[in-house]
Structures are given as C-alpha cells and as structure tokens.
C-alpha cells in the first residue's frame, strides 16, 4: 500500500478499507462530542466520571496517533501542518500535551472543531451539492429576505416598546430587550417570557405577526423554487431534448428518400 492510500483510509475515501475505517473515525468524533457534553452533567456517578476520563485518554491517543500518521504520510508534511485541516487536527490534539494540568478543560473544547471533519464526508455527496447549488442560486433572494426580516424585526421591537414599556416597565425595559421579544415572536418560538398585555400592543402584534407569517413563508418559497429550478428544469430540459431528437430523427428518416433523389437523378 502506498502512502497516499493511508491518507485515503483516514479520510474514508479509500475504495476498499475506506468505508469501514472512515465510519469508525467519524463515529469516534461523534462519540467524542457526546462525551464532552456528558461531562458537564452535574452529580455524575463516580464510575461514569472515571469511564468518561478513560474514554478521554483513549480519544486523545487516537487523535495524536492520527495526527502523526497524517504528517508521516502526507506528500508534503509542512503543507499539511499549515493547512486548514492540519491546524484543526493539531488543535484537537493539544489537550494531550497538557493532560496533567487541571486547567485543560477549556482547551479541550477545541476538539469540537473536529466536527467540521464530518462535513468533509459530505463534500462528495450529490444531494448536498444539489442543495448547495440551489442555495447559491437564490442567495440574493435570501439576502433580500434577511434584510426585510431585519427591518420588520426592528420596527416590531420599537413598536412594542412604545406600546408596552409603560404597562410592563419590568418586562419591556428597553428597545434591545424588545427586539429579543420580536425575534422570539417572529420565529414563532414564543417562550412566554415576554408578551404584550395592552390592547394596543396586542393589535400591533397581530398586524406584525400576520405580515410575519407571509415573510416566514418566503424563504421556503425561495428555496423550493431554486431547488425546482436546478432539479426539475434539468430533467424537463433533458426530456424535451430527447423527445425533439426523436422527432427530428423521424422527420429526417421521412425526408431521406426525398433528399436522395437529387443525387440519384443525375445517374439516370
């Protein structure tokens, strides 16, 4: 096996061993993310704590070994070290270097950068490429939508502050806080931490929410149209092309005897 094949294995793109090793590798990153999140649970049982600590050592060992392997196998080791992925891999290993120190918890979270690697697997994915193409195609529409949404949010925040500040000075304390209400309401999350209680504020909210419903429908419409544009148009184009080629062939076949005549005639 050649060097570049080792890298293919680590990247999960090797034709033979790639799939298995790749999946194991990705699984390890996911497990590592789960471990980081579990460690924050308060009052963990001692056995769980030590299990997580052991798993931590194991994960770090694997990452360090992988980092060294990648440097050794890279056609240009220095280029790899200073590449984007090289730095990500280094940051993921850093905790290992200061393992014994008690302050390493913060640095450990750099490991989360490895999650970016998961996106790598997707790069060859056809479905993602189609989604990306659609998103790229409608980027200016989405920008216009984001701009208009921001404007409506600002108007909603200022408006609700004017209506509700006097009635609930403890809740709608300032415009920035009212903007938070506007965001929570417009996205239809509605936590219930802030809501209008005056008739004026409620009528204003009704108007603004009705506009909001329309605005929220827009990105769905934009993305759908873009997806159909890349997807459906392609297939309709192909369909029409094929059909028209068929008819062209048929017409040409019908015309063939007519065309041959002029060339045959001189012979007679």
Q: Cα–Cα distances in Å, from 236 out to 130, 190, 228? A: 16, 43, 11
User: Please, are residues 163 and 200 in contact by the beta-carbon 8 Å criterion?
Assistant: yes
Phi, psi (deg, nearest 5) at residue 74: -65, 140
Q: Which C-beta is closer to a second copy: that of 29 or that of 60?
A: 29
Given 97, 143, 166, 167, the residue binding a second copy (CB under 8 A): 143
Residue 31 interacts with a second copy (CB under 8 A): yes or no: no
Mark the segment that binds a second copy (CB under 8 A) among 8-16, 83-91, 95-103, 213-221: 213-221
Q: Which C-beta is closer to a second copy: that of 99 or that of 210?
A: 210
Burial of 240: CB neighbours in 10 Å, binned 0-12, 13-18, 19+? exposed
Mark the segment that binds a second copy (CB under 8 A) among 53-61, 80-88, 92-100, 212-220: 212-220
How near is the Cβ of 240 to a second copy at its closest, in Å? 6
Q: Which C-beta is closer to a second copy: that of 3 or that of 139?
A: 139
Binding to a second copy (CB under 8 A): which residues in 214-243? 214, 216-229, 231-233, 235-237, 239-241, 243
Residue 147 interacts with a second copy (CB under 8 A): yes or no: yes
Given 52, 55, 130, 168, the residue binding a second copy (CB under 8 A): 130
How near is the Cβ of 94 to a second copy at its closest, in Å? 18
Q: Which C-beta is closer to a second copy: that of 3 or that of 49?
A: 49
38: nearest Cα among 26, 55, 23? 55
């Amino acid at each position: 096996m050649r060097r570049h094949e080792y890298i293919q294995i680590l990247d999960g793109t090797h034709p033979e061993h790639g799939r298995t090793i790749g999946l194991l590798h990705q699984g390890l990153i996911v497990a590592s993310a789960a471990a980081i999140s579990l460690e924050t649970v308060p009052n963990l049982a001692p056995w769980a704590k030590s299990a997580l600590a052991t798993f931590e050592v194991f994960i770090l060992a694997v990452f360090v070994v992988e980092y060294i392997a990648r440097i050794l196998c890279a056609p240009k080791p220095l280029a790899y070290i200073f590449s984007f992925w090289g730095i990500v891999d280094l940051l993921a290993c850093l905790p290992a270097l200061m393992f014994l120190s008690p302050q390493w918890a913060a640095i450990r979270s750099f490991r989360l950068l490895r999650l970016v690697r998961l996106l790598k697997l997707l790069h060859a994915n056809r479905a993602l490429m189609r989604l990306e193409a659609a998103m790229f195609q409608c980027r200016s529409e989405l920008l216009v939508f984001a701009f208009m949404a921001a404007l409506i949010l600002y108007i909603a925040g200022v408006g609700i502050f004017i209506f509700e500040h006097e009635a609930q000075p403890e809740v709608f304390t300032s415009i920035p806080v009212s903007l938070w209400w506007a965001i929570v309401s417009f996205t239809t999350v509605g936590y219930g931490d802030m809501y209008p209680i005056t008739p004026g504020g409620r009528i204003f909210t009704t108007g603004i929410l009705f506009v909001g419903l329309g605005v929220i429908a827009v990105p769905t419409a934009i993305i759908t149209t873009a997806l159909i544009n890349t997807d459906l148009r392609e297939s309709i184009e192909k369909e029409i092309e094929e059909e028209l080629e068929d008819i062209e062939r048929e017409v040409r076949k019908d015309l063939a005897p007519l065309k041959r005549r002029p060339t045959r005639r001189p012979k007679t």
